[in-house]
Structure 1
């Protein structure tokens, strides 16, 4: 035992020699694992004088482990040894040692650990050798001869801990256990015997001890109430719910220091699983509502939360009873049961409303479950009766009033700019992970939950919701207008205005369908169809929603000096943008607010950036209506149309400019795009568009030119990363270089964003007609050509910087739309510059860009694409042939495979597949097709395999036709073992630029027979091809379609080859071969796919 003490002390010592510490730990583990180590530890634990607490804790851990995991090694003798040793120790430590009004000097964690060990022994012996467990324990609790007549406090303390441990080991269903079937049966049997033999006596003892300790020790009384709460779930409820016990518990609700525990105990009683009618009777007996009405809970928020949880659980139980006894779904219950349950619910609602309005959010949230179920009951009533009765409407309005009241910001809370809608709509706001105030986060989450209840109420009664919100919004705005008229507008509470605007934002959600802002006479569609609501004309009478919006715009509320008000003002203007189609006279008030310090110039960054995004949305929805104000708008925001590129003050080693994010600027690109949207309206004369665009773009062109001149001095070795161990700080030349490049990136992105606002020239019929008539793309095109030229200069100068390559690709992606065919001369230089030093992920993003070019220009881009195609493919193969270094690189290569195949698929879809078989590229066709073939057979990525088979299908449809003699030659060549398509296949006879529609793919026919046909049979037969997987089934469909396509293109030649050569070569039986050929020949594509699967 001395060794155990020394080992524990050494193992836990922070100053011990590491080698000795390891030896000590190993020794302790040996003691735990040894067959008889527990005996030494048990002896050491009960020894007098006592060992150190750390040693005794270790000893109990060893004892616990034996009683928990090695019970098969404990025979009756050893279990009896445990029992006798435990009881002797209890007698000595908790009964004989000391007077009865003091607690044991043992640390609480040791008492808990010992109580747990006793509970484990109880579990092993109660059904066999220790059936008198509770009698033995209770006899030690009884007053001793030398006592004052009170129970033994030390023993009560231990016994209560043992009872809690018994609950954890035997009863509690919330504790995860890995019990066997036998152990579960044992637990059930223990509970059954306890219920029959000991629980009635325990319940009496609990009552007696509660009566004693309510005056002697409130801590013990609180522990007793917890025990009653956990045991009541499985014992006879009448042992607890009787006059003397319930009266005692209710009395505790009046005692400040113990009332929280009493409330929890009542909650546990209410939650006890019972049949509906029994539970209804229990609730009637308890009369909780009457008791709660007598309580003063105003001064203690923690107690209010406890009572709120009690009310919530009581309400949930009543709602469940109401649902179970609903005569519409279950007629087996007495007819009085359902209305009785609803009567209890209605009596509980006033208390629910009180808690919903509570200043403490935790109290409010505690009753959300009950509220949700009440609304569900109203939904059932409405569905049953067709409409809500008046009684429910009254309650519904009271609930709505309480919800709205709780949506208001608290007096001690500060507002932060978080978008009302959340999610993707939160562009330009402070992210919730950036809000440091936990209370604010909790409030925002609670507000979202309240909003869900609002949605439920709006569904139940849209008219009630509309009437209430209209009144709440207009009354607040009217009060503000009146105060402003008297010169006291500042006296309005921002919380009231914020709430009113928040409600107005939600207003439209109470209206089914598209919000209506003005009254229009409904008309019936053709043939007596659905009622159609026409768009009302300007000046038509406004609906309640329209009235609120008109009042908001004309009230001047956006000028209220609190950021929440203007922020919500803009959110509402964007959500209900169609309102301004009806009342364009309200647009000036909104635009004025947008362009001044309330919006785009707001001093608070979060409000300002959010306004940039919302102005884009407003402009996008109402661009034609805003045209009369364009010049004023541009003059007002010219100072905002600038770029401020900022970097951290110190750039640490590992910093990479290409991965650095400037979220403020990213949001500002919406503002630049909005400017492009407004300038590009067809109703604006071309020359005026040119003048507006010049004013906006010229400063950027000038600044970029200056930046490029300064950039020529940047060291050639610089590429935007800091790879050495030196931190780069502001003011140093290297920092200045990076800042210069970053600023240039932002300016290029700004120009691209402006271009993004312009329409697509290729799809704009009016622009195309003007270009055809004048031979010019228009004045604005000349500006965008300057943008293209300076972008290429920037790319040529700084192509080693990934951010410049990225910005160039982005800008040209937008210029393609603006310039149409005029952009083509710039593409070779652009693509060459982008490919020179691109990374894997850049190539992943570049390939879709090339797909966009191909889709836009189709065959007109063939001559340019012809020269760029294979260098691009070589770059792809260069990366795909590399061994990935780490997970990130592996994922990047997976994405590159997908982008590569998508690019090839896009060429076929854009009728540009001939670029693969020109004189310049035809010799590489075999290499490209082999890569597609490889990915088709690779089942490690099923979607990629499906994509590859899709490309092969496109290739067959494009190049698979030929005359009978050629087909026979192909089949014969394969039958004789000759190779089909090789990497050196000639493209002779094809047009040099691929513009000849009659180009052939030399060798493709042999490739079909030698490779494509083969994998259509081999891939489905692979062991890892899972027909139970949905994606694999789609691949199988592609394969079936591919075989059908070859059959259609090659005809009898293919069918003969299949039946006479290929299928026999893979040992397909003749009868099955004949059946397969007939299916391939006679079934249509859809039928054959089904047959093939």
Structure 2
């Protein structure tokens, strides 16, 4: 079938109405075809219809002919074409075409009023959209009777009413909806449209809505619900008298007690009371509706109807927010009398807010959170709070505490979407809690203290959710009441704060033995938050250490708890390390089995993951290093910690070398890499004060380094992973060791640079840079020897041909180029004698690679690095004590590069990174002038500029600007210079 339809796309769109059927028949067949190609052909055909002068007429006739009544695809396509026309050329349509469009819209409404020819909902919505676009163009000049003509169709029955309401909703979205951004022209157009409607038809519209709702209240609740949506949409710009009147309010109150209408009715009331009005009138409106709703018992609904409760909560939220805004506006005007009335109205809504906020369903509660937040914000602006307001704040505190409790259905081990939603809600509730503290800090402390003092001692008989909330409140106080507002902890018991009492109770009550995952996690998080408590009361440290180490913490049955506690234990040790020496060896003994490395040799039988163990090794190291033990004892303990790594490493490495199975090789390599990571992490226990040398631990780590370097001899596919581990360990040793690491560098470099690929070499260069920046001149002799072999290796790897389609290899080479130029920059800035020590031929090769990178490589980061390095060389070697031959290099290579690079097509001066590269070009030129002075100026004017065809005038301007302007100004000028030169 597709082969017979393809020629259709090659024929011109017919211009005559009688050919409509022929034109759309193929579209109907294409639309029904299941293949992507057929769908694409149909879309192309529709696009051609859109571009045709009379395409919309063909589609209009096709839609109203009834031929395609059963083909939703064709009908929708036809309306798409008509929609395109109303958005593009219809505004300038002829009288004949506007008449045709009007006829089309009314004919469609007539068809859609008939049960036999009505379309599906999505097509009726599209038709409504087309009608609203026609309204925007035609009302009021070309079609002043637009709304009256629509209302004339209402007698045709419920389908006609449904279509009428859909069009009104679409008009509202097109003209009124504030959530849709509008251009200034559209906003002006919409204002004129609303003004015209106010003059011509709003009264009739309001009457039609009342008639529709009373006529279809019983028979068609769906129509009434849609009509209520229309009312809510139009209330924002129509006069309030059309809505706040006896007949409308009577209807709304009646609907609010009907299950199939009350949600929509509640939304409409919300829209009415949210209407922008003067504060006094708005207050009166809200109070009137509140009184009527209360009298009708609307707020005494069944708590099982969550959907309706959400609507009521939203309504109370709208009332509260509206009254707060009224109060703000009145305060700005200084209207004290009216402020009192509005404040009384507002305080009257707070009990409703508290009721909905405390609802068990979080959706109901969430709907009124904004009111609660804004109420607190308003309270902060008042000079003082009344007794009623204090009670409201206290009630709000109790409500928030209640809502912080976990639901019974919460799945702690497998948290899904519902759990994520609760956590998000809990965050919002905590924000309210924190904000309340700034209103009445003492009240909050007292109430939380009461709750904690009641709950924690009774934890064995309490619901775990109540226990968790009690601990969570202690934790939250740290954010709600920062220490800057008052000292939380004191070494003097007489000055101990309520928070210090609560922390003491948290530890001594033994609540950490409650056992539930949520309680355990909250306990450990709270302990870490208040580390200063243990400085004041260090006698509680042993109990907490025990909790971390036993089945409450690191040996908990829950993976989630074990993993989190591994991290928190490290933080606890770091914050209390000055008090831990008495417990050091016992803690290390308790940790011993947890430090056993996961490996194929023990079947990976371990309760902690590899990443969790990283924290434990750093913890153990921190305990040893920060203790007050003698260096000799620290060395013994550190050796006890790390010797098992060395022993197992040697065994597994030999197994790897003998293994043939690739999966087993991978398991061994992962274990070796993890072993090196653990040793690297242990080195983080040292600091600037407690160095590796001062603690007597140098030999422990250098012995490990010697063992780890043997992994670089592996020739299997796991080589890259092992190299990564060795590099990581070397990085740490450069930080922690002094010259003790230097003897290992030749061996490390030799093995790491053995047949490297681009990525391995790129990953290696930062290690060399780190060594250079630490040891500087002290490593110059060694670097002078290895420098050219390393440079040659880089060039060799970059010159290896690569598949043009291999994007990964191309990116690796690009990054290696950047790394190479950064390496040269590091050498020049820290060990410039390394370059001086090279043979002239080799030095020239390196310098030319910088010129090549500056000019030929279309990478602004590399170019910026190259020019920055050249500038540093000019500064060091280009002055009075110039390196022999270097001034000639400046004139022959560097100066031309400063002009050739910016003139390259790939040098995009509109790009930010490229502009930074150009800034380095400018710095280079200025540095040459500062070092070579008038010699440079003479060369530029008599030699360089004439050879480049630059006029004497431009040359003078460039040199004068460079000589007289600050560098920042010259950079901007140079950018303009090259932009004009390239234009």
- Report the TM range for the smaller structure's normalisation: 0.7 to 0.9
Q: Secondary structure at the match of 1:699?
A: helix
- From 806, 821, 826, the counterpart of 2:739: 821
1:218 maps to 2:237? no
1:477 maps to 2:462? no
Moved more, 1010-1019 or 454-463: 1010-1019
Aligned mates of 1:817, 1:567 — CA distance in 2? 35
TM-score by length of 2: 0.85
The alpha-carbon deviation at position 873 of structure 1 amounts to 2.5
Structure 2 contact 434–481 (Cα < 8 Å) conserved: no
Structure 1 contact 758–817 (Cα < 8 Å) conserved: no
Q: How does 1:150-299 map to 2 (within 5 A)?
A: 152-175=157-180, 181=185, 187-287=190-290, 291=294, 294-297=298-301, 298-299=303-304
- From 670, 674, 693, the counterpart of 2:615: 670
Structure 1 contact 784–818 (Cα < 8 Å) conserved: no
Partner in structure 2 of residue 694 of structure 1: 639
Structure 1 contact 792–830 (Cα < 8 Å) conserved: yes
The alpha-carbon deviation at position 880 of structure 1 amounts to 4.9
Aligned mates of 1:1013, 1:1004 — CA distance in 2? 12
Aligned mates of 1:256, 1:900 — CA distance in 2? 74
Structure 2 contact 962–970 (Cα < 8 Å) conserved: no
Q: How does 1:514-525 map to 2 (within 5 A)?
A: none
1:52 maps to 2:70? yes
The alpha-carbon deviation at position 782 of structure 1 amounts to 2.9
Partner in structure 2 of residue 870 of structure 1: 788
| More relative contact order, 1 or 2 (CA 8 Å, 6+ apart) | 1
1:788 maps to 2:705? yes
The alpha-carbon deviation at position 1077 of structure 1 amounts to 8.8
Aligned mates of 2:436, 2:419 — CA distance in 1? 25
Partner in structure 1 of residue 321 of structure 2: 316
- Residue deviations 1:359-414, cap 9 Å, x none? 11112221232233223322333xxx3x6566544433332332222122112213
- Residue deviations 1:266-310, cap 9 Å, x none? 122233333444434433443468638752232211111111222
Q: How does 1:281-680 map to 2 (within 5 A)?
A: 281-287=284-290, 291=294, 294-297=298-301, 298-327=303-332, 330-331=333-334, 334-381=335-382, 385=383, 392-416=389-413, 437-480=416-459, 489=460, 491-513=461-483, 536=491, 541-644=495-598, 664-680=609-625
The alpha-carbon deviation at position 885 of structure 1 amounts to 5.0
Structure 2 contact 625–690 (Cα < 8 Å) conserved: no
Relative distance call for 1:207 and 1:692 in structure 2 (3 A) is same
Relative distance call for 1:274 and 1:1032 in structure 2 (3 A) is farther
Relative distance call for 1:880 and 1:352 in structure 2 (3 A) is farther
Q: Secondary structure at the match of 1:603?
A: coil
The alpha-carbon deviation at position 595 of structure 1 amounts to 1.2
The alpha-carbon deviation at position 259 of structure 1 amounts to 0.8
The alpha-carbon deviation at position 355 of structure 1 amounts to 1.9
- Root-mean-square deviation (CA), in Å? 4.1
1:132 maps to 2:145? yes
Structure 2 contact 475–529 (Cα < 8 Å) conserved: yes
Structure 1 contact 229–268 (Cα < 8 Å) conserved: yes
Aligned mates of 1:1074, 1:40 — CA distance in 2? 70
Aligned mates of 1:746, 1:899 — CA distance in 2? 27
Aligned mates of 1:668, 1:622 — CA distance in 2? 20
Q: Secondary structure at the match of 1:295?
A: helix
Q: Secondary structure at the match of 1:241?
A: coil
- From 704, 710, 713, the counterpart of 2:649: 704
Relative distance call for 1:940 and 1:338 in structure 2 (3 A) is farther
Relative distance call for 1:460 and 1:47 in structure 2 (3 A) is same
Moved more, 1056-1065 or 402-411: 1056-1065
Relative distance call for 1:161 and 1:356 in structure 2 (3 A) is same
Aligned mates of 1:1014, 1:320 — CA distance in 2? 67
Structure 2 contact 858–907 (Cα < 8 Å) conserved: no
Relative distance call for 1:300 and 1:712 in structure 2 (3 A) is same
The alpha-carbon deviation at position 891 of structure 1 amounts to 4.8
Structure 1 contact 7–27 (Cα < 8 Å) conserved: no
- Residue deviations 1:516-549, cap 9 Å, x none? 76666xxxxxxxxxxxxxxx57x77432222222
Partner in structure 2 of residue 141 of structure 1: 154
The alpha-carbon deviation at position 1048 of structure 1 amounts to 5.9
Structure 2 contact 961–970 (Cα < 8 Å) conserved: no
Kindly indicate which of the two structures has a greater share of residues assigned to helix. Answer: 2
Aligned mates of 1:341, 1:42 — CA distance in 2? 56
- From 887, 891, 911, the counterpart of 1:1005: 887
The alpha-carbon deviation at position 1062 of structure 1 amounts to 6.5
Aligned mates of 2:154, 2:57 — CA distance in 1? 28
Partner in structure 2 of residue 77 of structure 1: 96
The alpha-carbon deviation at position 468 of structure 1 amounts to 3.6
Partner in structure 2 of residue 524 of structure 1: none
Aligned mates of 2:49, 2:970 — CA distance in 1? 72
Aligned mates of 1:241, 1:444 — CA distance in 2? 40
The alpha-carbon deviation at position 116 of structure 1 amounts to 4.4
Q: Secondary structure at the match of 1:336?
A: helix
The alpha-carbon deviation at position 471 of structure 1 amounts to 3.3
The alpha-carbon deviation at position 1059 of structure 1 amounts to 8.0
The alpha-carbon deviation at position 438 of structure 1 amounts to 0.9
Relative distance call for 1:379 and 1:1003 in structure 2 (3 A) is farther
Aligned mates of 1:456, 1:185 — CA distance in 2? 41
Aligned mates of 2:632, 2:733 — CA distance in 1? 19
Q: Secondary structure at the match of 2:217?
A: helix
The alpha-carbon deviation at position 790 of structure 1 amounts to 1.2
Partner in structure 2 of residue 533 of structure 1: none
Say how many residue pairs are matched. 943
Q: Secondary structure at the match of 1:412?
A: coil
- Residue deviations 1:192-244, cap 9 Å, x none? 33221221022122123222322332222212111111121222221111122
Structure 1 contact 755–814 (Cα < 8 Å) conserved: yes
Q: Secondary structure at the match of 2:408?
A: coil
Structure 1 contact 4–28 (Cα < 8 Å) conserved: no
Partner in structure 2 of residue 914 of structure 1: 833
The alpha-carbon deviation at position 942 of structure 1 amounts to 5.2
Structure 2 contact 64–107 (Cα < 8 Å) conserved: no
Aligned mates of 1:636, 1:86 — CA distance in 2? 83
Aligned mates of 1:1036, 1:22 — CA distance in 2? 48
The alpha-carbon deviation at position 441 of structure 1 amounts to 0.4
Moved more, 440-449 or 687-696: 687-696
Moved more, 1066-1075 or 498-507: 1066-1075
Q: Secondary structure at the match of 1:216?
A: coil
Aligned mates of 2:974, 2:42 — CA distance in 1? 69
Moved more, 348-357 or 22-31: 22-31
Gap regions ≥5 residues in structure 2: 1-19, 976-983
TM-score by length of 1: 0.77
Aligned mates of 1:47, 1:303 — CA distance in 2? 44
Partner in structure 2 of residue 900 of structure 1: 820
